[in-house]
């Protein structure tokens, strides 16, 4: 099967390129010009340059493919650069699905996010749900994955936590008691590649999470222990934090946006039983992996 992969140079996309190739698929990656160098020619992947918001580029990219795996998404917006949730989640998904439909392609796999729903506090989750609806209404044979926080070497999450625990003062909003259920990159990428050859997964949404449910405060302290530091925490009410973050998020160096705060204030957990049984997955443990996930820059600085 020839597969178009969007988001191919990202954390998940890099692993999925390998998984798709190992399962015998031909892979075409749609990447921005500035990201072409991220893919080694020796991988045997066809690289096509273009923007997921460009309908002509998307149509060229899907032509001749049998399926598309759509991963493009953002954690943080950069509105001044046109990088918003509406653009990168909703509009990009519409552009890819429209091109796929026009080209006659029939199969799509979409990576959403755990917590996606129309009434979510954050626009991140609301726009992810809007993108899901576009996929569901496309007329294609679809499968949707909703992973929790994905961990693995090179992830985005642990460097952020490491930076947080090394700050002079660590604000702890509402006790940081919201629950997370991190899932390994291996547990996500493998099933996403295999689903292309599993017709029984079509028309289904799979919620994905790991074995362990941990409060964010416990993850933060686990990361801190790895470096032998003890964060100087400051308890902050979300009622106070929201207006402060709303004002400060305009500065690029500020570590949090209001939308990210909304996400941090709610649990991000699920029962992954259906996912586990469908794909025969053995969920990787999380806590014992924390030392390998934390960037060594802080150790070297010490």
Q: Give the domain CATH number at 105.
A: 3.40.50.720
Rounded to the nearest 10 degrees, the angle between the axes of helix 216-227 and helix 157-165 is 70
- The residue-averaged pLDDT of 5-30 equals 96
- Please give the DSSP secondary-structure letter assigned to residue 28: E
- DSSP SS3 for 53: coil
Q: Is residue 256 part of a domain?
A: no
Question: How far is 83 from 253, CA to CA, in rounded Å?
Answer: 17
Number of separate domains in the chain: 1
φ, ψ of residue 15 to 5 degrees: the values are: -70, -35
- The residue-averaged pLDDT of 258-283 equals 96
Q: Pairing mode, if any, of strands 183-184 and 150-151?
A: parallel
Q: Is residue 18 part of a domain?
A: yes
Q: Is residue 107 part of a domain?
A: yes
pTM of the model: 0.95
Q: Is residue 239 part of a domain?
A: no
Mean pLDDT, rounded, of the chain: 94
Provide the token pair at 269: 């957990």
Q: Is residue 69 part of a domain?
A: yes
Q: Is residue 138 part of a domain?
A: yes
Show the DSSP H helices in the chain as ranges. Answer: 11-22, 55-62, 85, 92-103, 123-136, 157-165, 185-194, 216-227, 238-248, 258-264, 273-279, 290-293, 297-301
Q: Is residue 44 part of a domain?
A: yes
Provide the token pair at 245: 């973050």
Q: Is residue 16 part of a domain?
A: yes
Q: Domain residues for 100?
A: 2-151+183-209+269-283
* Residue 101 φ/ψ region, left for φ over 0, alpha for ψ in the -120 to 50 degree band, beta for the rest: alpha
Residue-wise pLDDT tens digits, 74-99: 988 888 888 999 999 999 999 999 99
Residue-wise pLDDT tens digits, 150-176: 999 999 999 999 999 999 999 999 999
At residue 136, the pLDDT reads 98
């Amino acid at each position: 099967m020839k597969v178009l992969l969007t988001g191919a140079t990202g954390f998940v996309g890099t692993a999925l390129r390998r998984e798709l190739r190992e399962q015998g698929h031909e892979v075409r990656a749609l990447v921005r010009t500035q990201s072409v160098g991220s893919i080694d020619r020796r991988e045997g992947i066809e690289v096509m340059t273009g923007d997921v918001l460009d309908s002509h580029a998307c149509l060229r990219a899907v032509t001749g493919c049998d399926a598309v795996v759509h991963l493009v998404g953002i954690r943080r917006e950069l509105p001044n650069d046109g990088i918003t949730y509406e653009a990168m989640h909703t509009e990009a998904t519409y552009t890819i699905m429209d091109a796929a439909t026009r080209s006659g392609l029939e199969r799509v796999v979409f990576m959403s996010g755990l917590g996606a729903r129309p009434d979510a506090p954050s626009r991140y989750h609301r726009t992810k749900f809007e993108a899901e609806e576009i996929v569901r209404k496309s007329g294609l044979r679809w499968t949707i994955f909703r992973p929790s926080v994905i961990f693995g070497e090179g992830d985005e999450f642990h460097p952020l936590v490491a930076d947080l625990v090394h700050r002079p003062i660590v604000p702890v909003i509402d006790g940081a008691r919201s629950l997370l259920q991190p899932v390994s990159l291996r547990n996500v990428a493998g099933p996403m590649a295999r689903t292309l050859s599993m017709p029984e997964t079509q028309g289904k949404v799979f919620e994905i999470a790991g074995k362990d449910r941990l409060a964010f405060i416990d993850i933060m302290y686990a990361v801190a222990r790895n470096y032998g530091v003890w964060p100087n925490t400051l308890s902050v009410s979300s009622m106070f934090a929201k207006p402060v973050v709303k004002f400060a998020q305009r500065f690029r160096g500020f570590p949090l946006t209001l939308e990210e705060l909304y996400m941090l204030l709610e649990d991000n957990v699920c029962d992954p039983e259906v996912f586990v049984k469908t794909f025969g997955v053995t969920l990787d443990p999380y806590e014992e992996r924390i030392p390998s996930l934390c960037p060594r820059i802080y150790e070297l600085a010490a």
